[in-house]
Amino acid sequence: MSLIRLVLIALYTAVLGSVAIILSLLLPGVPVFIRVARVWSWLILRTSGVRLVVTHSPAYDPSRPSIYMSNHQSLFDVPSLTLAIRADLKFVTKRELLFIPIFGWSLWCAGFLFVDRKRRDRAVRSLAQGSRKIRAGASILAFPEGTRSPTGELLPFKKGAFVLALEAGAPVVPVSISGGTSVLSKGSLRIRPGVVRISIGEPIETTGMNVDDRDRLMALVRERILTGLAGSRGL
């Protein structure tokens, strides 16, 4: 059954990725990618037997350009967050994904931010590009851990996304996601049905902060994500 699911996911990705590329080229400036991505995400979760449970702070406003920062446990985090966050969303992702046929090309057409971890100059340019996208009305999703946690425990945060938030003056929305490890753990191809829980926290305002406040902002976001994870265990 897991093999069938993997084949179907690959098929969804190839077909809908191609559709996203064509529509992005035909309709520049229109957020068509995220709409196609939500269809892709729904198909993946439905095919895999994954139920999504989303809670959010009353102060959460998806229409407000923000930087969402989430912990990262599984490849299933991406489709789950794509469905849960109802914003014109761009992801910060590693540059290596750009070279995956169809999938990577569709991300490029959608204006995702590709970060080259080996080249600081390219990483700085990506942050500047992200700041422009936020000012133009888009929201950014980043995984401050930089990679998936193999145990589900929160890894140390990298500073890039926090610098971006401070330079853009955008609010940071902490997001806690759990359950993905049980569905598909890091290094495994075995997909199991399950429940993915997402808690979208209260936005943290960055107005009045500067780059020197990045460590304080990082500690606050980490605390909020941990609080959200603790709350999800009680559901």
101-154 per-position pLDDT tens digit: 776 667 766 667 676 665 555 555 666 667 777 777 788 899 999 888 888 889
CATH number (domain holding residue 34): 3.40.1130.10
- Tens of pLDDT, residues 214-227: 999 999 999 999 99
- Strand duo 172-178 + 89-94: pairing: unpaired
Query: pTM of the predicted model, to two decimals?
Result: 0.87
Residue 201 contacts residue 174 (beta carbons within 8 Å): yes
The three-point CA angle 153-155-156 to 5° equals 150
Q: Write out the chain's pLDDT in tens, 235 residues.
A: 678 888 999 899 889 888 888 887 777 767 788 898 899 999 999 999 999 999 999 999 999 999 999 999 999 999 999 999 998 888 877 666 666 777 666 776 666 767 666 555 555 566 666 777 777 778 889 999 988 888 888 999 988 888 888 888 889 999 999 999 999 888 888 899 999 999 999 999 998 898 889 999 999 999 999 999 987 665 5
Pairing of strands 67-70, 89-94: unpaired
Distance CA 175, CA 68 (A): 7
Q: What is the pLDDT of residue 231?
A: 75
Domain region containing 124: 2-233
Decide: 72 and 148 in contact? Cβ < 8 Å: yes
Helix, strand, coil percentages in the chain from 3-state DSSP, rounded to 5: 50, 15, 35
The number of domains in the chain is 1
Task: Tally Cβ neighbours within 10 Å of residue 96.
Answer: 11
Tell me what pLDDT residue 163 has: 86
User: Helical H runs in 101-213?
Assistant: 103-109, 120-135, 160-168, 180-183
CA distance 21 to 114: 17
CA atoms in the 13 A half-sphere facing the CB of 111: 23
